[in-house]
Amino acid sequence: MDLKEMRPRLKSELGISEVNSGVYSNDWIDNPKGRKINLYSPIDGEFIAGVNGGSKEEYEVMVKNMEENYEKWIKLTSPQRGELIRLIGLELRKNKEKLGRIVSLETGKTVVEGEGEIQEMIDIADFAVGLSRQLYGYEIASERYNHRMYEQWLPLGIVGVITSFNFPSSVWSWNSFIAAVVGNVVVWKPSSKAPLTAISVMNIITRVIKEHHYPEIFSLIAGGGGEVGNLMTSDNRIKLISFTGSVDGGRKVSEAVAKRFGKVILELGGNNASIISDRADINVALKGVAFGALATAGQRCTTTRRIIVQESIYDEFIKKLVNVYSKVKIGNPLEEGVLVGPLIDESAVNNFMKAIEQARHEGGRVLFGGEKLSIKGYEKGFYVKPAIITMPEVSPVSCQETFAPILYVFKYKTIHDAIKIHNAVPQGLSSSIFTTDLREEELFLSPWGSDCGLANVNTATAGAEIGGAFGGEKETGGGRESGSDAWKSYARRQTVTINWGRDIPLSQGIKFDIK
């Protein structure tokens, strides 16, 4: 696909100009006064567009508007709120291909992954529509005569969502569509590395809102974490912050929000491992590991970063895996057949190279890859050759998350050894085991097994479905997004007691007579 031809067409169709406002609050704010962000495609290093970020002045206007819009939004019933999300889902379907291309152009994802990002938004919209009629509480047996007790879930108010570049729109929708049907309004701060996708999405979504005369429940403010992010995390008016990013960034967010007793959902680092048993279906395991390690050029929080292979099949499995890696096509992600595109920017490439050097220093042996690549016609892009590195033991480099395609390989004797190696890192997001042995599978899923928020059997660590609650343990943060009952994170629980009798009996049989 010709990038020079694609850029102007996409910009025109999705409302992107050479310099864009990065602040939406009831409408786009002209010339916001924050820092300007210049965007370059990681595919070829060429300029895409500029975005003017928001300042404290625009932030204050936005939050005041959202307070007013919230008062209008909560007057609608939950099914009425779900209807807006249904209409948004329909519009996303119409624009799936165009939005997917913007994702690819801005982040370097392949065409399939770019469109998959938008499909995930469509899927969570469908989920949220159904959820809008299923926000259940519980009827609770009261110990007092002529009393009824139940619990209900009420909206928080304004929810802040801070997203990362690697999923520039879908993770926002996980939070925002669910939060909206619960009754909240949402402030979105996209990554400074990928605000154009957010602007394109807002152009489409807000068109639906205006056409159907709904309150403006979504707002957007681009800018750096030290600028806009700090305003959000310290603001008492924003009741919940959902943050996707690094462990260090999440720690700062958590501390700032905790000081004001706000709520957080933190989706931070992942250092995900797959255990490859000698009782695994090797072909299934190879495909699962390759997808988990290489999808999005290793820039997923659920990327497979470590594999732990049983010693009797170690040599065979690694030989086959190297063969798989050698056949993977790397290059312009918009071209057919390319499976691995570029890293997001030069700093990501530098981190990749530093981690490989550190692994060597710690006794690692590079079996494949580990180099910068220059792709003909895209010499200014940020390409690397995915690395496979054998490690003699768990070491500092294998305990850190490098957001790049590096796969560390360990050997184990018993399944208990494998689980010990698996759990020896500070992160706890996703995990998997490849085995056909029921006992190994159940051990992995037991309290003595995987210590992660996501556990998979005979499938990759990457590729979570929207129907399940998503999130991790340990330094991965806390809280859950997307499916199951994660909607409760965006609500406050209220226990209600109603006395419908002519007396006021007290609990625990206490007597308090007034004559």
Distance from the Cα of residue 259 to its chain's centroid: 25
Task: Walk along the chain (515 residues) and give the pLDDT tens digit of each residue.
Answer: 567 777 788 778 888 888 899 999 999 999 999 999 999 999 999 999 999 999 999 999 999 999 999 999 999 999 999 999 999 999 999 999 999 999 999 999 999 999 999 999 999 999 999 999 999 999 999 999 999 999 999 999 999 999 999 999 999 999 999 999 999 999 999 999 999 999 999 999 999 999 999 999 999 999 988 899 999 999 999 999 999 999 999 999 999 999 999 999 999 999 999 999 999 999 999 999 999 999 999 999 999 999 999 999 999 999 999 999 999 999 999 999 999 999 999 999 999 999 999 999 999 999 999 999 999 999 999 999 999 999 999 999 999 999 999 999 999 999 999 999 999 999 999 999 999 999 999 999 999 999 999 999 999 999 889 999 999 999 999 999 999 999 999 999 999 999 999 999 888 888 888 77
β-bridge mates for residue 264, sequence order: 241
What is the maximal distance between C-alpha atoms in the chain? 94
User: Residue 143 corresponds to which amino acid?
Assistant: E
Return d(Cα 31, Cα 393) in angstroms, integer.
54
Specify the pLDDT at position 1: 57
Tell me if 3-268+476-494 shares its fold with 272-465: no
Closest CA to 385 of 293, 501, 448: 293
The CATH fold assigned to 272-465 is: Aldehyde Dehydrogenase; Chain A, domain 2 (3.40.309)
Closest CA to 82 of 196, 183, 199: 183
Specify the pLDDT at position 447: 98
DSSP E strands in 233-377: the ranges are 238-244, 263-267, 272-276, 304-310, 365-368, 371-373
What number of CA atoms fall less than 13 Å from residue 431's CA on the CB side? Answer: 27
Return d(Cα 141, Cα 482) in angstroms, integer.
31
Q: β-strand 238-244 against 218-221: which pairing, if any?
A: unpaired
Q: What SS3 state is found at 73?
A: helix
The CATH fold assigned to 3-268+476-494 is: Aldehyde Dehydrogenase; Chain A, domain 1 (3.40.605)
CB-CB neighbours of 413 under 10 Å: 10
DSSP 28: B
Return d(Cα 197, Cα 125) in angstroms, integer.
18
Q: β-strand 430-434 against 272-276: which pairing, if any?
A: parallel
User: Residue 265 corresponds to which amino acid?
Assistant: I
Specify the pLDDT at position 17: 87
Return d(Cα 70, Cα 476) in angstroms, integer.
31
Token pair in block for residue 453: 């928020």
Specify the pLDDT at position 15: 83
- Residue that has been written with the tokens 């998503």 in this structure: 470
Domain boundaries, the chain: 3-268+476-494, 272-465
Distance between terminal CA atoms of the chain? 87
Return d(Cα 247, Cα 267) in angstroms, integer.
9
Return d(Cα 206, Cα 217) in angstroms, integer.
9
Return d(Cα 148, Cα 495) in angstroms, integer.
11
DSSP E strands in 295-361: the ranges are 304-310
The answer to whether 87 and 93 have CB atoms below 8 angstroms apart is: no
Residues assigned a catalytic role = 267, 301
- Residue 400's Cβ-count burial label (10 Å; 0-12, 13-18, 19+) is middle
CB-CB neighbours of 430 under 10 Å: 31
β-bridge mates for residue 52, sequence order: 21, 36
- Residue 159's Cβ-count burial label (10 Å; 0-12, 13-18, 19+) is buried
DSSP 344: S
Q: CB under 8 Å to 69, separation ≥6 — which residues? A: 26, 185, 215, 216, 217
